[in-house]
Amino acid sequence: MTDNNNNGAANASSGDVQIQIPAAPKAEGAATQDAESGSSEAKNWRRWFIVAVDILFLIVGQTSASLLGRYYYSQGGNSKWMSTFMQTAGFPILFFGLFFFPSKSSSGQSDESPIAKTALVYIVLGLIIAADDMMYNSGLHYLPVSTYSLICASQLAFSVVFSYVLNSQKLSGLIFNSVILLTLSDLLVGVSEEPYDESAGVSRGKYLLGVVLTLGASCTYSLILSLMQLAFENVIKERTYSAVLNMQIYTSLVATFVSIIGLFASGEWKSLKHEMDMFKSGQFSYLMTLVWSSVSWQMASLGMVGLIFEVSSLFSNVIGTSAIPIIPFFGVMIFHDKMNNGVKIIAMLVSVWGFVSYVYHHYLEDRKARKASS
Ligand SMILES: Nc1nc2[nH]cnc2c(=O)[nH]1
């Protein structure tokens, strides 16, 4: 699988799995240099396997996190900063991952990352992630789900622009086809949701604020993905999977710190005890919702960062976006939402079409690169 200039290759050594990406941006098809070695087929399969696991993590994590977030609000949860906190606070569980994928940077090889620059990358990205999470949660707070989903559909368009400008992403007809279909499918999700309930009591000012924040979150999220790809290519020199874990751990650490400051500075922390006591399904359910929501967000983010590392920021966003139409189906089952004349099914089918179009683009690129290297 190749995507633009960030071509990864799985490298199996002494039983563990390492993902390799070239230190500097290379032309399309550079990953196939690996194919020159005898074990290229095995490496290729191994890499496909890791990409598949990342996709699974992103889809399962994103779907469960979204549903748990909705459950939190439906049961009486009301804190925007708590929602923001949950999106990153589960990062300590990723330290277990470092046992399986340890950093190899003490070998004295030339692939050691410059510590100061790497730390700066983690801090800057962590701050932007905190801002994005806050805008993302505020949007959901102020807007009806339908309007929110419609605005979130702009995310992929932002991603095309950022990945073209920052990551020199090559844009093919199939990619445009995929982006248009996935955006259309998200728009269909938006129109299939319940229309705005005037009685919800959100003022016009807050409604407009919600629109601006949601648009800001869509733009910022796409920027984060492209900046991460840029950082992997230019600053983080480590070529093992621990680079993915470290990126996720340290950016989450910074973002969690910011959300704790937000919780205290906004005074929202004072209402948390009351929120827990008044949670409709009980205190234990409240704690479990927070815990599993945090775990789900970590799972989703790990898949998201893994896909950026192994393929590209645009690919990562395409996978995340193509999974959005799955969420309303669970909404029908769990929250007894309406099916709305099959619009949700059409959204799902359009999304699958968009996804297949993108994967087919990769298949063609991969084949072209293999031919060129043989
Ligand atoms: N803006 C935005 N923020 C996120 N944080 C986690 N997922 C998302 C997403 O899809 N969009």
Of residues 344 and 286, more confidently modeled:
286
C-alpha 223/C-alpha 135 separation (Å) is 14
Q: Any bridge partners for residue 20, and if so which?
A: 9
3-state secondary structure 114-156: CHHHHHHHHHHHHHHHHHHHHHHHHHHHHCCHHHHHHHHCCHH
C-alpha 300/C-alpha 63 separation (Å) is 9
Ligand 1 centroid, distance to 188 Cα (angstroms): 19
**Using an 8 Å Cβ cutoff, are 115 and 246 in contact?**
no
Atom of ligand 1 nearest to the CA of 321: 10
Ligand 1 centroid, distance to 7 Cα (angstroms): 24
Over residues 363-369, the mean pLDDT reads 81
C-alpha 132/C-alpha 231 separation (Å) is 18
C-alpha 96/C-alpha 118 separation (Å) is 21
- DSSP assignment of 241-269 equals THHHHHHHHHHHHHHHHHHHHHHHHTSGG
- Please name which of 179, 217, 137, 138 lies closest in space to residue 351, comparing C-alpha atoms: 179
Atom 6 in ligand 1: which residue has the minimum CA distance? 133
Model-level pTM? 0.83
With a 6 Å cutoff on the Cβ, whether 84 touches ligand 1 is no
pLDDT by residue (tens digit) across 122-159? 999 999 999 999 999 888 888 877 777 778 888 889 99
Ligand 1 centroid, distance to 318 Cα (angstroms): 13
Tell which one of 67, 148, 221, 225 to mutate to probe ligand 1, the residue whose CB is within 8 A of the most ligand atoms: 221
In the block, which residue shows the tokens 């990342």?
Answer: 54
pLDDT by residue (tens digit) across 231-242? 999 999 787 889
With a 6 Å cutoff on the Cβ, whether 320 touches ligand 1 is yes
pLDDT by residue (tens digit) across 42-68? 777 888 899 999 999 999 999 999 889
pLDDT band of 341, cuts 50, 70, 90: low
At residue 111, does pLDDT exceed 80?
A: no
**Using an 8 Å Cβ cutoff, are 18 and 12 in contact?**
yes
